[in-house]
Amino acid sequence: MDDKLDGIATFVQVVEAGSFAVAAERLNLTRSAVGKIIARLEARLGTRLLQRTTRAQNLTEDGQAYYDCCVRALAELDAAEVMLEGGRQQPRGRLRVSLPIAFGHLCAAPVLMELARQHPGLSVDMSFSDRRVDLIEEGFDLALRIGELRDSSSLSARRLGLQYMSIGASPAYIARHGMPTQLHELEAHATIAYSRAGVAAPWDMRDDAGHTTRVRIQPQLSTDDVQMIATAAIAGFGLARMPSWLLARYVKTGELVTVKGRCSQAPQDIHVVWPTTRYMPSKTRFAIDALVAAIPALLDD
């Protein structure tokens, strides 16, 4: 007797991914293997579920009706598994997490690695990107978000703290060029800037009275990688504006000194977000609790 569930999850993934190739990558299968699974499913059901051309794939009428039923069935199965899992003390299974590159490497990844060390049944898959991923479409259990949190009825969130921006430089650079004490003095210094698409982000700074001033900078170096900004500052290329938690790491080692602390116009919220579900898997709950316990202290510097 054929397994009634055989191929259903693959079919749903193909529909939601929009292509066999993307679905295959998410399922860690070859494209041909995914094609064979769908072909067997269609043969078993005696109907075509997908109309495939060289440029696109679309659900047939039967395919749309079957897809809607499959999604509901899989959601019920997930809810049943999570309900049973609720009584377990140890998280198990695969946890997929999307992390911003620098903050993820230096702050979040050590927390998640320690969680995996404590719970051998938990497999943690970390993806590093500053791109804002779609958790549901791309199959992530959790993500860390820095900045404005867009409202979404499909996502839940917990705030981890605030990211401030500070200015630092190497001790050797300061020895050569002096320590600026006023915001307008920053304009006379070499700078390293954060840039996107070749455009350097302005330095909107808050003075001691709380007023905002835009500092005019002419950076010799610019990059879209905050870790590279810190590396260039250590190498003596000039003043660098970077997250306060990142600067604090190198101040402790003596590689950088603080020029202006927490001087950005407005700090950015940091959240951990996850798809809203009726029942939260223990793997997700354990990871959220670990991040909430560890991350705020890292942001206090």
Cβ contacts of 267 within 8 Å, gap of 6 or more: 162, 163, 164, 165
pLDDT at 1: 41
- Distant-in-sequence, close-in-space partners of 259: CB < 8 Å, separation ≥ 6: 166, 167, 168, 169, 174, 179, 180, 186, 239
How far apart CA 240 and CA 222 sit, in angstroms, is 10
Phi, psi of 91 (to 5 degrees): -70, 145
Answer for the pair 103, 110: CB distance below 8 angstroms, yes or no: no
Predicted local distance difference test score (pLDDT) of residue 54: 65
* pLDDT at residue 88, as a whole number: 58
Single-letter code of the amino acid located at 233: A
Residue 126 contacts residue 109 (beta carbons within 8 Å): yes
User: Cα(98)–Cα(300) distance, rounded to whole angstroms?
Assistant: 23
Which residues contact residue 257 at a Cβ distance below 8 angstroms, ignoring those fewer than 6 apart?
168, 169, 170, 171, 174, 251
d(CA 286, CA 85): 13
Chain centroid, CA 13 distance in Å: 22
How high is the pLDDT of residue 120?
92
Q: What is the DSSP letter of 46?
A: T
Phi, psi of 125 (to 5 degrees): -110, 110
Q: For residue 287, give both structure tokens.
A: 């990871």
Q: Rounded to whole angstroms, how far apart are CA atoms 252 and 301? A: 10
Terminal C-alpha separation, the chain: 62
Instruction: Give me the residue label for tokens 């064979």.
Output: 36
In the numeric block, the tokens 């049943």 are attached to 80
State the Cα–Cα distance between residues 75 and 79, nearest whole angstrom: 6
Per-residue pLDDT at 3:
65
Q: What's residue 196's pLDDT?
A: 84
Least Cα distance to 78 among 280, 269, 223 occurs for 280
Below-50 pLDDT ranges, the chain: 1-2
Burial of 112 (0-12, 13-18, 19+ CB in 10 A): buried
In the three-class reduction of DSSP (H, G, I as helix; E, B as strand; rest coil), residue 127 is classed as strand
Q: For 265, which DSSP code?
A: S
Cα–Cα distance measured from residue 71 to residue 84, given in angstroms and rounded to the nearest whole number: 20
List of domains in the chain: 8-85 (1.10.10.10), 93-160+268-298 (3.40.190.10), 165-260 (3.40.190.290)
